[in-house]
Structure formats: structure tokens, C-alpha cells
Structure 1
């Protein structure tokens, strides 16, 4: 009888100990806000724009060929992953004036996941607008603004430049 208990009990205990200690690790996909901000902050630089008028797109225009002043086209938009959703617009490599501060706008950003709306200040338009997110990955952000009174929209694409 003891031999039977040993043969049955010992393998069952060992199996329980070894089997009960394993934990299945599942990767957690990044959320929209984490793709936008990284774990601390992430900076984005505009690379292209597109004007869509009456459903007809202009074609993708590289920001360097858009005719916009180069001191604005290389500016950075930095989104912070803090509770206040801090946002900064800062000068890129080319300053409009040597007296300009590096960070010239400090504001907040708002993200609504339900309709993929991101509201933030955009240097090239000098204002804060509600943007529809068309694409958001770890390295690319494409947003679109739909004008409320006409059948037209602006679409901008950004590439991430720094992440912390």
C-alpha cells in the first residue's frame, strides 16, 4: 500500500509544483497615447502635407517643398506622457530669429480614443485644432483636419524624432 501511495502521490506533487509555477506571459500592445508619447515623452517632426478639396487629393507634398518658411517646417511637436498631457512646440535646427526661445509654445494635448481625435497646437497653422488620426504607429503619425463649412481637409504626416 505504501508503495502504491508513493507511486501515485510523489509524481502528482512534483507535477503540481512544476506545473503550477509556470505563468503565461502575454505581450501588452501599446495604447494610442503610448504610441504618441512613448513612456515619458516623444517628439514628432512634420514630413509631408496633403490638401484634399472636394474629395480630390493634391498628392503628397514633402514639407520641404511646400513653400512654407523653413524655420517653421522643421519645428518639433513634443507630447508628454504625464497626467497633465503637456505639449511643447519647439524650434528645430532652423530658428526664425536667433532671439527666439527653443520652446515657444507650452500647452496640453487631448486624445479621444472613441473617435480617434487628437487636439493639439500645430506650428504650421499657428493654432490648436481637433485632428482625426488616420494612422498612428511608433514612428509615423498622420492626422487630418476636416473643415466644417466646406468639402476640404488638410492631412499632415509626422515622423517621430526622439523617444524617452
Structure 2
């Protein structure tokens, strides 16, 4: 009787313990800050609007197509790569300034510092590489701001993701 009782109580407990330890706990892997910018391989962005701030007063969001910037520049694309080199490419959009221009006209690098949300990269509209403060970064929207050192003014640009790998 005692043997039968032990068999019915102890065997299920032992097997239950063995099988419960064999399961692998699956933990979700959150997307990193830089992966929002680059995707898993690369992500391409296009400028959609800008704002100008002067002594704390903002212009309001201006669609880039209404900003006065030449269409052959404002439709250019910014591609951030998720590789170890942090490769960056600036390429022509739908409108080229010169038909003979190559599609990819600049290859450089990008730098991201999470501690202060600082992102440094080339922006075609300004034709230069600047240290940007990230105001917003999601999988589809990037808003960056450049603060001028010598005056109380800044430029804020919003880019939308147009392609992701």
C-alpha cells in the first residue's frame, strides 16, 4: 500500500520537475535605439519638414516641398547601415540636380551617442555633417535638431523612413 502511494505521488513529481526544467524561457529582445535608426541591415530616410527656431519662437512645421529648397536636393535620401563601420550614404532621390550625377554621391559614417541622444551625420539640405540632437525616433519618424553655438536659434528637421531591411 505504501509503495503504491509513493509511486503515485513521487513519480509524477519527479517527472514534472524534470520536464519543467527542460523548457527554454523565451525572452523578447527589445529593439535598440540604433536599430530604430538602421533597421536590422539598413534604413533609408527622406526629409519631410523643417522648422526654424529663433530666440525660442518656432516657425511651425514647413513641408520641405514648400521650403524654397531646390527639389533636386530636398528629395535626397539618407541611408544608415547597421554594420560595425556605421556606414552612411547620401543618394539622389527622384530628381537629380544633374543627370550625370551618380545615384550615391556621398559615403560617410554616422555616430550615435545614446547618453545625450546625439546623432552626427551628413544632411543633404544643409550640405554638411552636423551633430544633431534627436528629438524623436520611432521606427518610421526621426526628428532632429541642430542648435547654433553663437546665436539662440536652431533648425529642426523631420525625416520619414522610406525603406527598411
TM-score between both structures, scaled by the size of structure 2:
0.96
> Tell me, what secondary structure is at the counterpart of 2:135?
strand
1:6 corresponds to which residue?
7
How many equivalent pairs are there?
164
> Tell me, what secondary structure is at the counterpart of 1:12?
helix
**1:125-164 to 2 correspondences below 5 Å:** 125-164=126-165
Superposition RMSD in Å: 1.0
CA distance in 2, matches of 1:20, 1:26: 16
1:46 corresponds to which residue?
47
1:72 corresponds to which residue?
73
CA distance in 2, matches of 1:82, 1:134: 24
1:100 corresponds to which residue?
101
Shift of 1:151: 0.5
CA distance in 2, matches of 1:49, 1:145: 11
Shift of 1:8: 2.0
Shift of 1:22: 3.1
1:81 corresponds to which residue?
82
> Tell me, what secondary structure is at the counterpart of 2:37?
helix
CA distance in 2, matches of 1:8, 1:131: 66
2:24 corresponds to which residue?
23
> Tell me, what secondary structure is at the counterpart of 2:121?
strand
> Tell me, what secondary structure is at the counterpart of 1:96?
coil
Unpaired stretches in structure 2, ≥5 consecutive residues: none
Shift of 1:32: 1.1
Unpaired stretches in structure 1, ≥5 consecutive residues: none
